[in-house]
Amino acid sequence: MNILSLFVLIPVLTLGGLLLCGNTRQIRSVVATGASLLLALAIGVVIAFLNERAAGNTAEMLFRSDVMWYKPLNIHYSVGVDGISVAMLLLSAVIVFTGTFASWKMPFQQKEYFMWFYLLSVGVFGFFISIDLFTMFMFYEVALIPMYLLIGVWGSGKKEYSAMKLTLMLMGGSALLLVSILGIYFHSAGEGAPLSMNILEIAQNSSMPVELQRWFFPLTFIGFGVLGALFPFHTWSPDGHASAPTAVSMLHAGVLMKLGGYGCFRVAIFLMPEAAKELSWIFIILTGISVVYGAYSAIVQTDLKYINAYSSVSHCGLVLFAILMLNQTAMTGAVLQMLSHGLMTALFFALIGMIYGRTHTRDIREMGGLMKVIPFLGTCYVIAGLASLGLPGLSGFVAEMSVFVGAFQETDTFHRVFTIIACTSIVITAVYILRVVGKLLYGGIVNEHHLELTDAVWYERFSVIVLIIAIAGIGLAPLWLSNLIQNSLIPVLNQLNF
């Protein structure tokens, strides 16, 4: 049994285990076991990967396994990881783990909730380990559908509207993707050779002419970009996040939005490098807009979740922006930013969920001075905020600086101008973060009832502390991670320099 397949197997088994559960205690023990196993597995894979690399294994993808699945179309269940997917697996495992603890208490139907939740994580893990386009796409869809129910059933506010909007927009994106995957497939090999869905084989043998790439690159980039909150296809994000229950917001902003960035990088740029070079300018403009647009929009929001949703638009915009710089430093920054953003948004959404569970409002105008009554949650919120505005020592700084330094290596005026525009986001981010922190946590108590709030309980503390440790870990010792990512980028760079 391939070690990577465990990433799919464990959530599936958890799902099965949940089916048998009768009471809350059983549910909790099953999900806690599943989540812990996943986290342990992810850490184990990272260590195993580093060992392999240290031992001199220079294969592009490690832990390969390949099973023919559907012969007529040459579709395989094919898995393998490089440094980037390993990092994303670790991120996903951390978020699933903390998300599980953040949903320790659910008002109703906890079992069904967790079942959809783990189905979603099947999709997420499967996506990151796949190197077969079709299997990858299948897992991608598996990750999207449960979202509809999780938001529609367990959400809050105008949940039906948000769930429908999110699903339709993301499905629209996957429709584009399907077209482009077929396009890539039919040009995956030279004249007469058998066609392939395997990303590595396509990258070597692709015969897609540049004229066709010009069509399929934008389709792929937008298809994945919708999930990565690419302007102007980002509007599912504020509503979706606001309506989703806590752990779903965490998983969605933390991991699912990363599927977009990862896909843009792994499929759009890796397989269509010529068009990527030619057309990157269009998307640099769009992502450049995303970065500042999201940040400015966040300044005036009053709902905590909307603030973080727009902040995500800005931060994820930076991910795509960095990928499009098409150089090693910036792309490393992009992956770091995916990790960093995943962790800190998950932290934000977890905290917002916990605060909402106590105050029953997310409107910052109705809250104030909470630091005094719930100091633990307050302090963690400040830490999340500082990570978000790029304080050195936390993950955001490392990621942003890699992106900016990388982007600055592109010398022409166009890149310079957009890099400087993207840089200004560090100031705007500070404005909206400090505004929220100031209103929510400092000052006097606004609502008398808030005086009786109780601080976080053990499972809440546990989930938050794990996230903070991960954020600080990346922020304090980034070298191993950035080396891991940088080395994995070499095949892409070779593609780009054909």
Angle between helices 236-243 and 133-154 (to 10 degrees): 50
Stretch that binds other proteins, among 3-11, 39-47, 120-128, 406-414 (CB under 8 A): 406-414
Does residue 408 touch other proteins according to CB under 8 A?
yes
Among 135, 287, 297, 495, binds other proteins (CB under 8 A): 297
Cβ proximity to other proteins, 32 vs 431, nearer residue: 431
Residue whose CB is less far from other proteins, 23 or 411 = 411
Of 111 and 435, CB closest to other proteins:
435
Site track for other proteins across 247-286, x = CB under 8 A: ----------------------------------------
> CA–CA separation, 166 vs 171, rounded Å?
8
Distance of closest approach, residue 479 Cβ to other proteins, in angstroms: 6
451 scored as a contact of other proteins (CB under 8 A): no
369 binds other proteins, rule: CB under 8 A: yes
From the list 118, 185, 265, 397, which residue makes contact with other proteins (rule: CB under 8 A)?
397
**Applying CB under 8 A, which of residues 301, 308, 312, 388 lies at the interface with other proteins?**
301
Q: Indicate the angle between helix axes 273-300 and 413-423, nearest 10 degrees.
A: 30
Q: Which position among 3, 9, 153, 299 is part of the footprint of other proteins (CB under 8 A)?
A: 299
- If the CB atoms of residues 32 and 465 are measured against other proteins, the closer one turns out to be 465
Give me 168's structure tokens: 């339709």
Determine which residue in the list 126, 254, 263, 406 makes contact with other proteins, applying CB under 8 A.
406
Residues numbered 168-197 forming contacts with other proteins, rule: CB under 8 A: 168-169
Binding mask 126-145 for other proteins (x = CB under 8 A): --------------------
Output the CA angle 177-183-186, nearest 5 degrees.
140
From the list 82-90, 115-123, 161-169, 315-323, the region that binds other proteins by CB under 8 A is 161-169
Should residue 296 be labelled a site residue for other proteins when binding is judged by CB under 8 A?
A: yes
442 binds other proteins (CB under 8 A): yes
Q: How far is the C-alpha of 141 from the C-alpha of 128, rounded, in Å?
A: 13
| 462 part of the interface to other proteins, by CB under 8 A | no
Residue with Cβ nearer other proteins (137 or 397): 397
Per-residue HEC secondary structure of the chain comes to CCCCCHHHHHHHHHHHHHHHCCCHHHHHHHHHHHHHHHHHHHHHHHHHHHHHHHCCCCCCCEEEEEEEEEHHHCEEEEEEECHHHHHHHHHHHHHHHHHHHHCCCCCCCHHHHHHHHHHHHHHHHHHHHECEHHHHHHHHHHHHHHHHHHHHHHCCCCHHHHHHHHHHHHHHHHHHHHHHHHHHHHCCCCCCCCCCCEHHHHHHHCCCCHHHHHHHHHHHHHHHHHHCCCCCCCCHHHHHHHHCCHHHHHHHHHHHHHHHHHHHHHHHHHHCHHHHHHHHHHHHHHHHHHHHHHHHHHHHCCEHHHHHHHHHHHHHHHHHHHHHCCCHHHHHHHHHHHHHHHHHHHHHHHHHHHHHHHHCCCEHHHCCCHHHHCHHHHHHHHHHHHHHCCCCCCHHHHHHHHHHHHHHCCCCHHHHHHHHHHHCHHHHHHHHHHHHHHHHHCCCCCCHHHHHCCCCCHHHHHHHHHHHHHHHHHHHCCHHHHHHHHHHCHHHHHHHCC
How many residues sit in the footprint of other proteins (CB under 8 A)? 51
Residue whose CB is less far from other proteins, 273 or 475: 475
Binding mask 409-438 for other proteins (x = CB under 8 A): x-x--------x--xx-xx--xx--xx--x
- Candidate residues 12, 285, 401, 421; the one interacting with other proteins per rule CB under 8 A: 401
**Residue span binding other proteins (CB under 8 A) among the ranges 73-81, 208-216, 449-457, 480-488:** 480-488
Interface residues for other proteins in 321-340 (CB under 8 A)?
328-329
Binding residue for other proteins (CB under 8 A) from 23, 191, 444, 454?
A: 444
Residues near other proteins (CB under 8 A): 165, 168-169, 232, 235, 293, 296-297, 299-301, 328-329, 369, 371-372, 386, 389-393, 397-398, 401-402, 404-406, 408-409, 411, 420, 423-424, 426-427, 430-431, 434-435, 438, 441-444, 478-479, 482-483, 486
